[in-house]
């Protein structure tokens, strides 16, 4: 459904290599019959021409704070007040830093400060810039002050490297904007998502862990929150930044995953994406274990089965979903887990070098009682969206 019709959207375009994609974005928003106004920073105009934007929009665009012509009616305040939402795409590291610190030294930053409307930024930059601590801090700060961040994706970048920093797909930006205006279909629902690896200590400096990146769980938490669910993300150690509008709880061991999950009950939705270790040390050594020539074995015991504990808990959420990562016999192993863990759905994901733990893509099977669906290889972001749409229909039918 199109919720963007007649919506007043102010698009701020900042000076990055992905500026040209803003034209495509405007086109898609026009297709949705949105009413788009546009501001280009002066550095954006080094990459694209004002006239191209004006031709596409069929109206003048604003770019200068100190233009008598534009400012005789306090244009910067008007622009801020007239928009129902402000979208910054692409958003540079520089602009992120400025708006995170309340800098107001040009038209675009003044509009951002003067507006009390919802704001969404879609960053695009070189991977090292995106991973720079200063940028990370600024992004976290933006999230804290209520700005929604559409995380960039991985791919080939203009600087001829491959990595994270590519502007989110224009279609996805439009879908997110549409969702923003849509009726929040999971409003009133509480969701818990676990993500990332667990860390089971052996001694003060060593642990057993795994290669889970956490990305799939983070994407699901973000998608749930976009659909209006009050979402808690319980995560093992990852390199990822928590999504906007999600309560974030950091944990390490299987015991902590379970403890924090139980503390968050009751909930409507529980999605166990974390790769939680099946074993933990019977005793964690107080001191560093010393190398012995006589023995190379460690004493482990089974760790808590977090998913099963939640599935069989007296405060069991209405919908419990597990993820089953396998390197072989994917379907038969996952079906067995589906039975034994007593969850409602199981997502079986194949772990290979090409997709699974270390990749942005996933190949999954969706398993429920009497039904198995094979989903084609897709990004974890799309897997998350597809899953959350299924959750929406589950609750629609659940009410009947
Ligand atoms: C060729 C070129 C490409 C650039 N691409 C990006 C980019 O993709 N992302 C980014 O954050 N900065 C990029 N920059 C740096 C910004 O242009 C610079 O930080 C500028 O001050 C941004 O201004 P603005 O945020 O006011 O638009 C690029 C610079 C050059 C010269």
> Whose Cα sits closest to atom 4 in ligand 1?
16
> Whose Cα sits closest to atom 11 in ligand 1?
92
Q: Mark whether 19 is an active-site residue.
A: no
Name the CATH topology of 190-284+298-399. Rossmann fold (3.40.50)
* Ligand 1 proximity of 130 Cβ (cutoff 6 Å): no
Distances (CA, A) of 60 to 68, 75, 304: 15, 13, 62
* Ligand 1 proximity of 125 Cβ (cutoff 6 Å): yes
Q: Which of 207, 196, 203 is nearest to 260 (CA)?
A: 196
Distances (CA, A) of 140 to 27, 108, 222: 31, 21, 15
Q: Which helix (DSSP H) or strand (DSSP E) does residue 279 occupy? A: strand 279-281
Closest atom of ligand 1 to 14 CA is 27
Of 41, 45, 92, which is best to mutate to test ligand 1, by the most ligand atoms within 8 angstroms of its C-beta?
92
Catalytic residue (one of 19, 91, 159, 343): 159
The more confident residue out of 352 and 24 is 24
Compute the residue count for the chain.
Answer: 400
* Ligand 1 proximity of 95 Cβ (cutoff 6 Å): yes
Contact 218, 243 (CB under 8 A): yes
pLDDT tier at 184, thresholds 50, 70, 90: confident
Q: Within 10 A of 390 (CB to CB), how many other CB atoms are there?
A: 15
Two tokens at 96? 């992120």
Distances (CA, A) of 289 to 206, 210, 246, 298, 344: 9, 21, 39, 10, 42
Distance CA 41, CA 61 (A): 11
Distance CA 2, CA 32 (A): 7
Contact 79, 65 (CB under 8 A): no
Distance CA 205, CA 360 (A): 30
* Ligand 1 proximity of 44 Cβ (cutoff 6 Å): yes
pLDDT single digits (tens) 332-383: 999 999 999 999 999 998 877 666 666 788 889 999 998 999 999 998 999 9
The more confident residue out of 1 and 303 is 303
Q: How far is the CA of 100 from the centre of ligand 1 (A)?
A: 17
Distance CA 223, CA 384 (A): 6
Q: Which of 313, 307, 388 is nearest to 341 (CA)?
A: 307
Q: How far is the CA of 16 from the centre of ligand 1 (A)?
A: 4
| pLDDT on residue 399 | 55
Q: How far is the CA of 70 from the centre of ligand 1 (A)?
A: 25
Contact 5, 32 (CB under 8 A): yes
Closest atom of ligand 1 to 41 CA is 27
| pLDDT on residue 164 | 84
Strands 300-302 and 319-326: unpaired
* Ligand 1 proximity of 152 Cβ (cutoff 6 Å): no
Q: How far is the CA of 131 from the centre of ligand 1 (A)?
A: 16
Residue 192 CB-density burial (10 A; 0-12 exposed, 13-18 middle, 19+ buried): buried
pLDDT single digits (tens) 53-67: 999 999 888 777 666
| pTM of the complete model | 0.80
Strands 85-91 and 119-123: parallel
| pLDDT on residue 289 | 87
| pLDDT on residue 183 | 79
180: helix, strand or coil = helix
pLDDT single digits (tens) 205-240: 999 999 999 999 999 999 999 899 999 999 999 989
Show me where the domains of the chain are located.
8-181, 190-284+298-399
Q: Which helix (DSSP H) or strand (DSSP E) does residue 255 occupy? A: helix 254-263
Q: How far is the CA of 124 from the centre of ligand 1 (A)?
A: 9
Question: What ranges make up the beta strands (E) of 150-229?
Answer: 153-156, 162-166, 190-195, 200-203, 206-208
* pLDDT surpassing 80 at residue 386: yes
| pLDDT on residue 400 | 43
Radius of gyration of the CA atoms of the chain, in A: 24
Q: How far is the CA of 238 from the centre of ligand 1 (A)?
A: 28
For 8-181, give the CATH class. alpha beta
* Ligand 1 proximity of 97 Cβ (cutoff 6 Å): no
* Ligand 1 proximity of 15 Cβ (cutoff 6 Å): yes
pLDDT single digits (tens) 70-93: 655 666 777 888 899 999 999 999
């Amino acid at each position: 459904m199109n919720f963007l019709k007649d919506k007043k959207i102010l698009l701020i375009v900042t000076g990055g290599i992905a500026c040209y994609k803003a034209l495509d974005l405007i086109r898609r928003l026009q297709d949705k019959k949105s009413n788009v106004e546009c501001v280009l920073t002066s550095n954006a105009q080094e990459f694209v021409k004002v006239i191209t934007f004006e031709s596409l929009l069929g109206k003048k665009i604003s770019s200068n704070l100190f233009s008598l012509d534009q400012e005789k009616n306090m244009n910067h305040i008007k622009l801020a007040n007239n928009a129902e939402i402000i979208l910054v795409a692409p958003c540079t590291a520089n602009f992120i830093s400025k708006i995170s610190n309340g800098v107001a030294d040009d038209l675009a930053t003044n509009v951002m400060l003067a507006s009390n409307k919802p704001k969404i930024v879609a960053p695009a930059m070189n991977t090292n810039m995106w991973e720079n601590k200063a940028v990370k801090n600024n992004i976290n700060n933006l999230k804290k002050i209520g700005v929604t961040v559409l995380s960039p994706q991985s791919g080939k970048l203009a600087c001829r490297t491959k990595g994270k920093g590519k502007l989110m797909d224009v279609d996805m930006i439009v879908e997110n904007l549409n969702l923003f205006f849509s009726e929040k279909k999971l409003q009133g629902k509480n969701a818990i998502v676990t993500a990332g690896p667990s860390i089971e200590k052996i001694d003060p400096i060593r642990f057993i862990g795994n290669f889970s990146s956490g990305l799939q769980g983070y994407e699901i938490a973000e998608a749930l929150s976009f659909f209006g669910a009050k979402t808690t993300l319980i995560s093992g150690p990852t390199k990822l930044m928590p999504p906007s509008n999600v309560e974030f709880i950091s944990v390490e061991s299987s015991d902590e995953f379970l403890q924090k999950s139980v503390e968050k009950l009751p909930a409507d939705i529980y999605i166990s994406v974390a790769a939680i270790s099946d074993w933990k040390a019977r005793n964690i050594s107080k001191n560093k274990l010393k190398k012995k020539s006589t023995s190379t074995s460690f004493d482990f015991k089974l760790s808590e089965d977090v998913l099963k504990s939640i599935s069989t808990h007296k405060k069991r959420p209405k919908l419990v979903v597990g993820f089953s990562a396998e390197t072989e016999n994917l379907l038969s192993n996952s079906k067995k887990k589906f039975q034994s863990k007593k969850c409602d759905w199981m997502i079986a994901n194949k772990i290979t070098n090409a997709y699974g733990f270390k990749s942005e893509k996933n190949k999954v099977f969706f398993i429920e009682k009497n039904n198995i669906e094979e989903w084609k290889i897709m990004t974890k972001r799309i897997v998350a969206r597809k899953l959350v749409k299924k959750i929406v229909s589950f609750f629609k039918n659940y009410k009947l």
